[in-house]
A and B are shown apart, each in its own frame.
Chain A
Amino acid sequence: MSYVLNIAGKAPAVDYALLTAAAFINTSSDGDIKLNFVDGKTVSKDVATSAQLLKGDETVSTDSIEILNYFGTEFPTVILAKKESEEWIKFSHEKLLVKDFKKLSVDLEKLESHLNLRSFIIGYKITAADIAIWGALRANPVMGSVLKNSVYINVTRWYQFLESDKRFGEMPTLLSTSLAEMKKLSKNGKKEIHKA
């Protein structure tokens, strides 16, 4: 059964974590998740969230934490450490999307000290926790310059290491080029309608 993942490309916090999770699943042997980008702040008029997962015609979930956990259950050899990742996934949504830097910095310091002697969030491989946290930091507009300036040295090393993996680094580009393509197509479409 194949899946469709709807992603709101203009959401206040774009779901980069789910895009990356889908890339992990699709580059594995058992993956079949079709990505569908929506040029809007929400998935649709009826679905007021930033993401929606469909299996066939059925909605699996419209909650981004639930979808990532679902991937961890359905693809346990690809989206690793579902159980241990849960608290980190929660942390990424509740704490790392905050734009008030004074508040955000408290949690970035926690992450920084967690990565003092660790190369990954959990154990020695990329897990759902890395995917969730990377996605949240990528979506947070405050983080661009913070990461670039290595304000948090360990966080920057970890972030850039993951970014050099295409399944992380290429997803934001895929999203923006897809949105640009859609815009072009809809403009052309309008012109044709005009002509007719």
Chain B
Amino acid sequence: MAFSKEQQQAAVSQWESLAPHIEDHVKELNETLKANTYVAGTGVHTDADVKVFKAVLPLATATLVKDVAANRHILRWIDLLQNTVPGLSESKLALDLDAALPREIKE
């Protein structure tokens, strides 16, 4: 989605403040990343991406990967960040990028 600069800044602050409680906002994060490559609708990653990534990675590794279809947008974004932002995590989350998933239909 094409966010204005102001909307992007607001989204960065919002996600930075949600990062410490990310376990309560998994659905929202997935919904956001459904329509946006990065969390704040930017063309490149922001501090918010980095903070949310660090917060959500343990949860992703432990739980979210068990249901790839439901969490596909978060997992897509994790894979993007772990392969493009140096020094984000020590070990990469393993994902089969060609996993057969049911097609999502817009609600």
Contact = CB atoms under 8 A, between A and B. Distances in A.
Q: Are A and B physically bound partners?
A: yes
Interface of A: 109, 112-113, 116-119, 124, 149-151, 153-154, 156-158, 160-161, 163-165
A117 B100 contact: no
Given A124-B83, A124-B84, A164-B2, A153 B37 contact: no
B77 interface: yes
Contacts of B83: 124
Interface in B7-39: 34-37
A113 B101 contact: yes
A151 B106 contact: yes
Contacts of A118: 76, 79, 97
A161 B72 CA distance: 17
B80 interface: yes
Interface of B is mostly: loop
28 contacts: A113-B100, A116-B72, A116-B99, A117-B72, A117-B75, A117-B76, A117-B79, A117-B96, A117-B97, A117-B99, A118-B79, A118-B97, A119-B76, A119-B77, A119-B79, A119-B80, A149-B106, A150-B106, A153-B34, A154-B104, A156-B35, A157-B34, A157-B37, A158-B37, A160-B1, A161-B37, A161-B43, A164-B2
Contacts of A163: 2
A169 to B, nearest CB: 9
Given A157-B34, A157-B37, A112 B103 contact: yes
B103 A113 contact: yes
B88 interface: no
